[in-house]
Amino acid sequence: MSDALVEARDGILIITINRPDAKNAMNKEASELIAAALDRLDAEDDLRVGIVTGAGGTFCSGMDLKGFLRGETPFVAGRGFGGITQKSPAKPLIAAVDGYALAGGLEVAIACDMIVANENAKFGIPEVKRGLAAAAGGLMRLPKKIAPHIAMELALTGDFMDAKRAYELGLVNRVTSGPALDAAIELAQAIAGNGPLAVKKSKQVIAESGEWSEAEMWQKQTETLGNLFATNDAREGAAAFAEKRKPNWTGT
């Protein structure tokens, strides 16, 4: 059985870490399969949104320590840990978290653009408890997602937080009593119904604008959006609104 499963469903690419017996601990094979799936997400025009989830009621418990002891590293060149932490796809990506998202598992989740979690989910970067550090993005990315002093506490104590607390801190978008994947698909469908070029460019501005100075931000936004307002989809969106119908997006 493959260590990661990939399914295209109505414009949504669902990527499932498939090592439930190991609590979906990330290994080299799963990382490579995830990286390939993200390449596919960006390459295929009919795919609009990606979802990363885990099989068997757990998202990801982090790096496969048994593999680590054998000398295996679950990193992909140019993509990072899990095939995702260093390079995000151009299209939106949602983490659907059931159970534990710990260590590298949390780093995979926060590398996504949005997180949907079951109410019983747990989040944490407990690497310090093993003499390690959350070096796959956790130490750098988490303080940008939540208050830095809260991120500091999580990094230095290794303590977990539940989905309710993660939602209160703004780390999680939605908390559900059912399977996280179902709620993530609902969110993905809402995104997939919008103009694909507009969605892609909007993600890019939000992702990159944190590094722009106030003096350059308007020029940078104009450059990033390019000719978006002159595209066929822009005209189609306006026409569909005026005619009270569903838009027929072409991605042009």
Residues noted as catalytic: 107, 127
Half-sphere exposure of 194 (CA within 13 A, CB side): 14
Scored b (16 or more CB within 10 A) or e, 68-86 reads eeeeeebbbeebbbbbbbb
Assess contact for 87 and 80: CB atoms under 8 A. Answer: yes
DSSP one-letter code for 59 = S
Can you tell me which residue has the tokens 């931000």?
Answer: 217
Q: What are phi and psi of 218, to 5 degrees?
A: -70, -40
CA dist 110 and 47 (Å) reads 21
Half-sphere exposure of 103 (CA within 13 A, CB side): 20
Instruction: Give Cβ neighbours of residue 47 (< 8 Å, ≥ 6 apart).
Output: 8, 11, 12, 13, 40, 41, 91
Q: What are phi and psi of 214, to 5 degrees?
A: -60, -35
Q: Judging by DSSP bridges, how do beta strands 80-81 and 75-76 pair with one another? A: antiparallel
Q: Judging by DSSP bridges, how do beta strands 93-97 and 122-124 pair with one another? A: unpaired
